[in-house]
Amino acid sequence: MKYGQKRTSQAITYGILSLWALTTIYPFFWVILNSFRQKGLIMSDSFSLPVGEAFTWDNYVTAFHRADFKNAYLNSFLISGIVTFCVVVIAGLAAYGLVRYRFRGRGLLHSLIMAGMMFPVFSTIIPVFRMEAVLGIAGTGNRWLSLLAVVLPQIAGNLCFAIIILMGFIQSVPIELEESAYLDGCSVFQIYFHIIIPAAKSSFATVAIFAFLWSYNDLFTQSFFLRYPQERAITGLLNEISSQAGVNYGLMAASVVLVVIPVLVVYICLQKHIIKGLTAGAVKG
Amino acid sequence: MNSMIYKKKSPLLLFLVPAFAFLFVFLYYPFFQNIFNTFLKIGGLGRAPEGVNTPWYENYQRLLEDPYMRVAMKNTLILIICTVVFQVGIALILALLVDTIRVGAQFFRTVYFFPIVISATALGLMFNLIFLYKGGMVNQMLLSLGKLPVEIKPSGKMIVQWLDWKDQAHFLFTMLLPVMWQYVGFYFVILVTGLNNIPEDVYEAAALDGADGWKRTQFITLPLLRNVLCTCLVLAITGALKVFDLPWVMFGAGMPENRGWLTGTYMYDQTFNKMNVDYGSTIAVLIVVLGVVLSNIANRVFRPSEDL
């Protein structure tokens, strides 16, 4: 009796969990499926597998033909790559300094970082735009300067989150390791590179992944600074396609797939780090 | 615990200066500049202010009188309530359930996180296809279930009355559902970690006292999870105030008929399309103020006392 009860409750548990998993998987599956379907058929019969007559590559051909995906990928990877690199380096140093050193004003700096998490990008973007326009970075029409104009505020926007996550981890690194390294004659910087970074590797990976994803996916900042076609990054391009495609739903589905696939691949490869790294730091807060 | 290593303070500068230089120039300074801007007259992005508004609080007055702002506030408040109840609620249920199983937990964690790693722009487009008027995924399902009125013409042609998911009666649902669905996985992961941090011996002690199943959840798990739940609540509130991409891609500027504004989309539209830069700044200030006030209230109400 007891055993049977347990079996049913287990079955219900798996049922509910699978139901939600279905909502997170099926929509992507549906879009991928329909990106290979003849465009007229999407509206009448979108659930069957696109085989035989219904199958086509046309949507992808049109997508590459109509929009400059190659350029947009390049822009996006440049922006997000630089943002990720800078965030990891700068936030790592700051988190280490804030955790290990005791100095006056430490509490103040800590609350400044917490406050920084609260500012939505809306509340800083207009002055940043003006500042960058005055400095001659934003709104010049020069592609590389425009990319730089996006990179700078995105680094600042990701720093606070990154520092908080990294601090949580560096705190948990046993200080004895550093002390013995110090006795062996290591400098503070050697300690940072040879002990702290390897020990907090998975949190550095988490921070890197989130910085990359947020930068890659951030439509708001991109649409502020990237105004010309050759500057367009991938999310901006997608937004533009959606407004131009009209009723060409096959093209839309194919564009969604093209934008989503790189991210999903990165995520699935690195997902172990994401969940481990995010959770250990975030909850302490 | 202050080791010998860190007595010498000079390397500290190198550690801290890059980060705080960035934060001051691109975060704190613009934030305060933005507050100043609300009192100035600014005619375009990147342009110098043309002087002080008359009266200087003009924008704040306008904020109170603007009917679209009221719409945006109303929709955003609904969004906040829905995110708190459904997002955190569903995440909590899923987390409690995953905590009871062994096989497949890793799989569920991975797939629940899918929507978060994907750009809201792509999700918005995807939902546009799903909620499409003529032959979207939802409407096709409804049709095959026989839930849509169908008229068959004498010629044999079928006329279907499709359901418009973006009309006045349905737009709120269509706008809120994807936003809520997207972030369930985020809170789920945070809550699962919170659950993992509850020490096993607490449960063992509870089992000795005869508490298991729902009783255990109610009297042990939930109280111990309160701190984490509170963190989720604050994140959900501030997150809801910032929502922009998904509704913007799905609804654009305030569709349908200026009833679909959110604070984020309205701010963007005012700044960018209407060139009311100073008014846009004012809306941004309002978003920050609301975030601070609401998350403080949430903290007051739900944060457990220290001795827990």
For B50-131+166-302, the fitting CATH number among 3.40.50.1820, 1.10.3720.10, 3.40.630.30, 3.40.50.2300 is: 1.10.3720.10
With beta carbons under 8 A apart, name residues in chain A contacting B94: 16-17, 20
Predicted confidence at residue A1, as pLDDT, reads: 46
Min Cα distance B55 → chain A (Å) is 22
Q: In which residue are the tokens 């009209």 written? A: A246
Predicted confidence at residue A88, as pLDDT, reads: 93
Predicted confidence at residue B24, as pLDDT, reads: 92
Q: Is the pLDDT of residue A167 over 70?
A: yes
With beta carbons under 8 A apart, name residues in chain A contacting B244: 122, 219-220
Pairwise CB contact (< 8 Å): B19 & A93:
yes
Predicted confidence at residue A155, as pLDDT, reads: 93
**Most B CBs within 10 Å: which of A25, A31, A283, as the mutation test of the B interface?**
A283
A282: confidence class by pLDDT, cuts 50, 70, 90: very low
Q: Is the pLDDT of residue A8 over 80?
A: yes
Structure tokens at B49: 């202010």
CB-facing half-sphere around the CA of B251: CA atoms within 13 A: 32
Phi and psi at B262, nearest 5°, equal -125, 165
Domains of chain B by residue range: 50-131+166-302, 134-165
Min Cα distance B193 → chain A (Å) is 6
Task: Return the HEC string of A124-140.
Answer: HHHHHHHHHHHCCCCCC
With beta carbons under 8 A apart, name residues in chain A contacting B271: 126
- DSSP letter at A37 equals B
Predicted confidence at residue A45, as pLDDT, reads: 65
pLDDT in tens, A115-160: 787 777 877 888 888 888 888 888 777 888 888 989 999 999 889 8
Rounded Cα distance, B107 and B114, in Å: 11
| Conformational region of residue A168, where left means phi above 0, alpha means psi within -120 to 50, and beta covers everything else | alpha
With beta carbons under 8 A apart, name residues in chain A contacting B125: 238, 242, 252, 255-256
Contact of A128 with chain B, judged by CB distance below 8 Å, is answered with: yes
Predicted confidence at residue A67, as pLDDT, reads: 76
Q: Is the pLDDT of residue A283 over 50?
A: no
Predicted confidence at residue B21, as pLDDT, reads: 92
CATH code of the domain made up of A68-282: 1.10.3720.10
Of residues A130, A238, A280, nearest to B122 (C-beta): A238
If you count residue pairs, one on A and one on B, with CB atoms under 8 Å apart, how many are there?
295
Q: Is the pLDDT of residue A181 over 80?
A: yes
- In a 10 Å sphere around its CB, with 0-12 CB exposed, 13-18 middle and 19+ buried, how is residue B268 labelled? buried
With beta carbons under 8 A apart, name residues in chain B contacting A103: 9, 12
Predicted confidence at residue A274, as pLDDT, reads: 64
**A115 vs A44 pLDDT, higher one:** A115
- Predicted ipTM of the assembly: 0.79
Average pLDDT, chain A: 81
Min Cα distance A149 → chain B (Å) is 11
Provide CB contacts within 8 A for A128, sequence distance 6+.
A152, A153, B26, B30
Pairwise CB contact (< 8 Å): B231 & A283:
yes
Going residue by residue through chain B, which has 308 residues, state the pLDDT in tens, using 9 for 90 and above. Answer: 456 777 777 888 888 999 999 899 998 999 888 888 888 877 777 677 777 777 877 788 887 888 888 888 888 888 888 888 888 899 999 988 888 887 888 888 888 888 888 878 778 877 887 777 676 777 777 777 777 777 777 776 667 666 676 667 677 787 888 888 888 888 888 788 778 777 777 777 877 777 777 777 777 777 777 777 877 887 788 788 878 778 887 777 766 767 778 888 888 888 878 778 888 888 888 888 888 888 788 877 776 654 44
Domains of chain A by residue range: 2-42+50-60, 68-282
- A 180-239 → B contacts, CB under 8 A: 182, 188-189, 191, 213, 216-217, 219-220, 223-224, 234-235, 238-239
Predicted confidence at residue B100, as pLDDT, reads: 81
Q: Is the pLDDT of residue A266 over 80?
A: no
Pairwise CB contact (< 8 Å): B34 & A90:
no
With beta carbons under 8 A apart, name residues in chain A contacting B242: 120-122
Rounded Cα distance, B183 and B91, in Å: 9
Rounded Cα distance, A122 and A148, in Å: 19
Pairwise CB contact (< 8 Å): A156 & B16:
no
Q: Is the pLDDT of residue A247 over 60?
A: yes
pLDDT in tens, A192-227: 888 888 877 777 887 888 888 888 888 888 888 888
**Most B CBs within 10 Å: which of A59, A89, A130, A175, as the mutation test of the B interface?**
A130
